[in-house]
Amino acid sequence: MVAAMSESVPEYIYKITTAALWDDAQTRGTLNGMPIDIADGYMHFSTASQLRETLSLHFKGQDGLMLLKVATETVATGLKWEPSRGGALFPHLYAPLPISQIAGATPISVNADGSINNLPDLA
């Protein structure tokens, strides 16, 4: 079931991927997502307020990650807001992501304690 956003839609959403998949996407021109995205049939994104918890829960102890910043309006056609962790609405993209729609890419890593290295300003 797709839920309607009760709050205003954020200007940006964020995708976490590996540096290897990012490199491949730049060659092909599109990002198809991480293995979990392909298995689920949509690309998982987080809002700025959801991002730290997503990184801590699902990427703890990992390096070689890329944080992709995407303007929400550029992917609005394929984007759905659906309940996930704790019933919060998360942005899910039901389409490949053209790299031309990525507003920024930053290498990051998540320490074993869940703290994040190189996290850019998300404002």
Question: Which domains does the chain carry?
Answer: 12-108 (3.20.170.20)
Tell me the average confidence (pLDDT) per consecutive run of 10 residues in the chain, 123 residues long. Answer: 59 96 96 95 96 92 96 93 89 95 95 90 77
Cα–Cα separations (whole angstroms), residue 47 to 20, 29, 51, 112: 23, 24, 6, 23
Can you give the pLDDT at residue 1?
Answer: 36
Q: What is the distance, to the nearest Å, from the Cα of residue 82 to the centroid of all Cα atoms in its chain?
A: 14
Q: What is the CA radius of gyration of the chain?
A: 14
Q: State the pTM of this model.
A: 0.90
